[in-house]
Structure 1
Amino acid sequence: MKSSFKLFCTIAAISIFECITACNKEIKENKPELTSVVPSSARGGDTITAFGKNLFTDISKVKVTINKKEARIITATPDSIQAVVPENAGSGRVSVSIGDETYEGPEFEYEYKVIVTTVAGTGTAGNKGGSAATATFNCPWGIVSDRNNNLFIADVYSRLIRKISLADSTVINYEIGNLDFASPYNIAIDHNTGNLFVTDFNKHVMKMDQSANMSVIYTAEMPLAGIAVSPNGSSLFIGNNTLGTITKTDINGMNPVLYTDNIITPRNIFYDHTGKMWVACYRFLYDITNSGTATPAYAYGDFGGWEAIPDTAGNFYLADHFKNCIHKIDKAGNITKIAGSGMAADIDGIGLEASFNGPQGITIDADGNLYVTTFNYDTNEGNKVRKIEFK
């Protein structure tokens, strides 16, 4: 009896092995192949069809990915698979996996839906705090995002630092008081401590700690514009708009040394996700090496603004103040207008159907959302904080 059972188990094991071997042989001899994707670009939620040959029809055994993100399969035939593009998939290859084998297909371009909304501000000039929907600003410029879902804004004509809590949509005012400091202009945050550092387009740099204590920590020749904190939180980098220089100090504003020069209007200094420094200014985006060598990396052409910010994919976003729109520079250096019709008005909407009234400062949060401050110097309108989402 035991011998019969052992014989049965042996035969069963051999049969399973032969079946697996035969399936693998069939897959190898009839290797699945993806040849094209139609359409080759689409948005999240759209349906695409991947064409090829020797594709499996049992969708329970097949997985399709776009840029390594799994897509929901609708139907499958031996020569095509229909699937839904996942939200925020991004651009990349379409692949099909059968068992442990993955077969690479063609490149797919993800078309982001650019959604523009208003975070805070009625448009009326003022300094009212409280609810973001009824709050007022007066020439908001520099803007940064912290790691606690807050935005901090240098409100120039109100001479205030403004905090927007995105969690509860409220605005808090921090008064600068009697410090020897003009109006706040640009702003940087030390993500290691939460401390803010602010220039005044005059001679000063102010520090505001997490308890809202403020002090002037650096004074130099005017006008001081761009400012950044090194990723390790040990140094400040301060741009002089007229001299075209960037000065390095320690985090307390002491021991200043010239870091780099010959930069046209260094109004916006920032780091990308790799720790590389960049400087945005009128007409150019500068690449700054660790030794302080400045090289124009991108020429904007007729771009009319001073502020830019990178994402983690290697793209840059530019706030075009005079054309009332937002541009994107992709990794290949292509410049595309992604939001704003060009009309001087803060109107919510999708992509080029939306509009901005003098976009000035720009920042990005951990989720990849952009935030833009607006002010129109001809009409004293704008005075809003806008949000740009990509879906």
Structure 2
Amino acid sequence: MKKGVFGFGLLLLMLSACKKDKTEIIREPLKVTDYYPNSGNQGTLVTVEGTGFSSNPSDVSATFSGTPADVLSATATEIVLRAPQKGSTGEIVMKVNGETLNIGRYTYQELSVQRISPANGAAGAHIRISGAGFSSLKGPAEVLINGKASIVVSASDTLLVVEVPAKVGTGPVKVKVDGKEATGQIFKYQAIAGISPLTGGKGTQVRVTGEGFEELAEGNYVDFNGIPALVKEASATSLLVIAPAEVGTGPLSVTINKQKVAGPIFTVVPPPVIETVSPLSGPGGSVMTIVGTTFSTVPEENKVSINGKLIPVTTATAGKLTLTLPGNTGNGRVVLSVNDQVVQGPEFKDQSLGINKLSPENGLAGTKVTITGTGFNAIAAQNMVTFNGVSATIISATETEIVVKAPVGLSTGPLKVINNGAEAIAPTLFSRAGVVTIAGGLGNKDLDISAYRSGSLAIDRHGNVFVLEVEKSRIKKISPQGVVTLFAGSPTGERGNKNGKGTEALFNFGANPGMDIDANDNLYISDGNLSVRKVSPQGEVSNFAIGLGNINKLAFDSRGILYVLGSFNGAWRINPEGLRTSINTNGMSDNSRPVIIDNMIYKLNNEGYFIDAFNLTTNNNLYRVIGANYGYADGIGQAAAFASINGMIADGNGDLIIADAGNVAIRKANLQTKEVSTIVKFKSGQAIDGSFSEASAGNIGDVIVDKEGNIYFIDNSNNAVRKIFLK
């Protein structure tokens, strides 16, 4: 008895399990979405579209105004019927598996819209309407798409070609002829309203908004300037796509059923670059500033996280973001994502001690530096400040500000504050940078260079600087220790044309003579004797080239070929053996040496405040390559502005260093991007050495760069040669 009960229970359990394992089939609802044509003669094929139909024609039946019709084919989404003979105008009724559907009205008449091709497209596209009865002796056929009149491009009795109007929307195509109407299938209008974001790069997720999209992702083909992209999400009005690896700047387009619509330009930009984050530590409530490049100006398109916690961006420009620290982030890396392009920033410490700013951010030993931040000790001795590991003397301290003196032995590196075991690092390195006078000065008799605006400088491999004393037609040498000696020319300032060693030689300099140095430390000087003179490292003066006419500034290229500017007489190219050829370049100022890089001569224009170029390959003059207007402005190409340029030199990194005398500034121009920036803008006046914020200068003349990247310039009005430390 127990055994029988057990067996019956087991059978119940098996039956229950079978019911649970059985997959439930969910049927799509029986629904009609469209039918076409809605008129025609007997025998016309009518297509009914929808969902939930049967794929077996025997499960389907239909009548036209009560007259049975043939079912020619059936799928789950489309059934084709034939309008019956001897049928009459009235309703089409269809049954599927016994369930009745009212399809719509069918009119027996000559006028019939049977097929639209293509059934989707953008404004301006041409669509073909096939049917019958389009001809009329009374007037042309009218075509409406979604109720909006459309231009008929061509017409025959069985074919109309029309142009899709702008903003027509999605709806049926209707043809009117002689008071009769016929409606065909629904035309789906395609348009891209916008894309967001408009900039980015590989992997950027772009939201495309518009209309007429396919709701299945695979039905939409999206490309970025011809490169196909992955469609991640799709609806009738929105697509989410991923920018491909090979993405390039150009229009984003969507193609559906071979019909393409172009959208806005997607601009490829480099990934963001973080230059500084300030502060690198601090408490909640502090404002963090991130400085760099290629940020989005739309705050929401910049995603900043610390230790994996997302923090909203408060303000955004292309080069700076600000956000308020929420506190309790923990210690971790700052990560920035701009339109899905990610860059890793520095580590951040979640603590009370933090440094917001250094002022100045550069200087030499003895420079007074103000450190602002939070969590400092108001007792000066309780704080420790180091410059790249070297301890500094603290002058004063509060909880938010420390004033220190940059120590002897200073080198470029991180500045740190230590208080009660906590350590904070400044957002920028403190640079051993500033200005010192290496020779001369007002009232100093070692040099006599105050009378001329540009003059010329050169530096040899050993760090000796050579400067032309223009008024006295001689060359002075300044050792790395600052010792000034007469290198070549008359001790009394006598002029002439005489070769010889050192003080035996005589020169006859014009107002703006040029000087440059070759790889073997030989100096080459343009002389008023219509010649280029050569001076060996031992001071031996000889003629290198004669009979050149009026010449001034000169410079070597990387191959040892000398280029000599002939004032208004073009230029000369002279190889190491002295073989010369003329160059038909125009409009050069006497104030600055040319710079020759990659078969291009960069030269100061006659107007003196912008830079032209001459292509040595094509022999073409290029006008206003860098700068255009008189003034002061950093920027790219002609957006930059200078005033009275008196010198320029290549720094070995593809940049021009420019002496902008009119602005009392040393500027830099990247020759690849043509972007101009300011290295230092001095206060105008008597020569004062120190940090960039403290230093002042007078009228700046020629400029040169040594192998370590330090810059030297003539300060004419202060009768000095001065050196800018950048490292």
**TM-score, structure 2 normalization:** 0.32
Secondary structure of residue in 2 paired with 1:296: helix
Residue 666 of structure 2, aligned match among 309, 317, 328: 328
The Cα of 1:197 is off from its aligned counterpart by 2.1
Instruction: Tell me the equivalent position of 2:705.
Output: 364
Instruction: Tell me the equivalent position of 1:228.
Output: 595
The Cα of 1:112 is off from its aligned counterpart by 2.1
Compared with structure 1, are the counterparts of its residues 350 and 116 closer, same or farther at alpha carbon in structure 2 (3 Å cutoff)?
farther
Q: Provide Cα deviations, 1:349-384, integer angstroms capped at 9, x if missing partner.
A: 85988766xx6543322241324497x9xxxxx9x9
> Are residue 304 (structure 1) and residue 676 (structure 2) matched?
no
Instruction: Tell me the equivalent position of 2:578.
Output: 214
- % identity of equivalent residues: 11
Secondary structure of residue in 1 paired with 2:582: strand
Q: Provide Cα deviations, 1:108-152, integer angstroms capped at 9, x if missing partner.
A: 797723415245455643368996356356234334466666765
Tell which has more relative contact order, 1 or 2 (C-alpha 8 A, sep 6+): 1
Instruction: Check the 8 A contact 2:358/2:370 in 1, yes or no.
Output: yes
Compared with structure 1, are the counterparts of its residues 355 and 336 closer, same or farther at alpha carbon in structure 2 (3 Å cutoff)?
closer
> Are residue 194 (structure 1) and residue 539 (structure 2) matched?
no
Secondary structure of residue in 2 paired with 1:175: strand
**C-alpha separation in 1, matches of 2:619 and 2:566:** 20
Compared with structure 1, are the counterparts of its residues 176 and 334 closer, same or farther at alpha carbon in structure 2 (3 Å cutoff)?
closer
Secondary structure of residue in 2 paired with 1:113: strand
Residue 113 of structure 1, aligned match among 435, 442, 446: 435
> Are residue 132 (structure 1) and residue 486 (structure 2) matched?
yes
Instruction: Tell me the equivalent position of 1:203.
Output: 570
Mark the runs of 5 or more structure 1 residues left unpaired by the alignment: 1-23, 251-255, 264-277, 290-294, 342-347, 377-381
Instruction: Check the 8 A contact 1:144/1:363 in 2, yes or no.
Output: no
1:1-391 to structure 2, matched below 5 A, reads 32-34=353-355, 43-48=364-369, 50=371, 52-53=374-375, 64-65=386-387, 69-74=388-393, 82=404, 84-85=406-407, 94-96=415-417, 103-105=424-426, 112-115=434-437, 117=439, 118=447, 119-121=466-468, 124-126=471-473, 132=486, 135=489, 138-139=509-510, 140-144=512-516, 152-156=524-528, 159-161=531-533, 163=535, 171-179=539-547, 181-191=548-558, 193-201=559-567, 202-209=569-576, 213-220=577-584, 227-231=594-598, 235-237=599-601, 246-250=613-617, 256-258=618-620, 260-261=622-623, 263=624, 279=626, 283=630, 295-300=637-642, 303-309=643-649, 316-318=657-659, 320=661, 326-329=664-667, 336-337=681-682, 341=686, 350=689, 361-367=702-708, 368-372=710-714, 387-390=721-724
**TM-score, structure 1 normalization:** 0.52
**C-alpha separation in 1, matches of 2:616 and 2:654:** 30
Secondary structure of residue in 1 paired with 2:513: strand
Structure with the greater alpha carbon radius of gyration: 2
Q: Provide Cα deviations, 1:48-89, integer angstroms capped at 9, x if missing partner.
A: 46464378x9x9xx7734xxx444334699966956256786
Instruction: Tell me the equivalent position of 2:107.
Output: none
Compared with structure 1, are the counterparts of its residues 48 and 129 closer, same or farther at alpha carbon in structure 2 (3 Å cutoff)?
closer
Secondary structure of residue in 1 paired with 2:638: strand
Instruction: Check the 8 A contact 1:318/1:327 in 2, yes or no.
Output: yes
**C-alpha separation in 1, matches of 2:426 and 2:585:** 58
**C-alpha separation in 1, matches of 2:525 and 2:361:** 40
Compared with structure 1, are the counterparts of its residues 259 and 335 closer, same or farther at alpha carbon in structure 2 (3 Å cutoff)?
same
Mark the runs of 5 or more structure 2 residues left unpaired by the alignment: 1-330, 332-348, 440-446, 448-465, 478-484, 491-506, 669-675
Instruction: Check the 8 A contact 1:142/1:361 in 2, yes or no.
Output: no
Compared with structure 1, are the counterparts of its residues 199 and 355 closer, same or farther at alpha carbon in structure 2 (3 Å cutoff)?
same
Residue type of the alignment partner of 2:434:
Y
Residue type of the alignment partner of 2:640:
Y
Q: Provide Cα deviations, 1:154-190, integer angstroms capped at 9, x if missing partner.
A: 344573345585xxxx6553424445x2233222222
Instruction: Check the 8 A contact 1:73/1:84 in 2, yes or no.
Output: yes
Residue type of the alignment partner of 2:386:
V
Instruction: Tell me the equivalent position of 2:310.
Output: none
**C-alpha separation in 2, matches of 1:238 and 1:115:** 29
Aligned-residue Cα RMSD (Å) equals 5.6
Compared with structure 1, are the counterparts of its residues 310 and 236 closer, same or farther at alpha carbon in structure 2 (3 Å cutoff)?
closer
Secondary structure of residue in 1 paired with 2:572: strand
Instruction: Check the 8 A contact 1:75/1:83 in 2, yes or no.
Output: yes
Secondary structure of residue in 1 paired with 2:659: strand
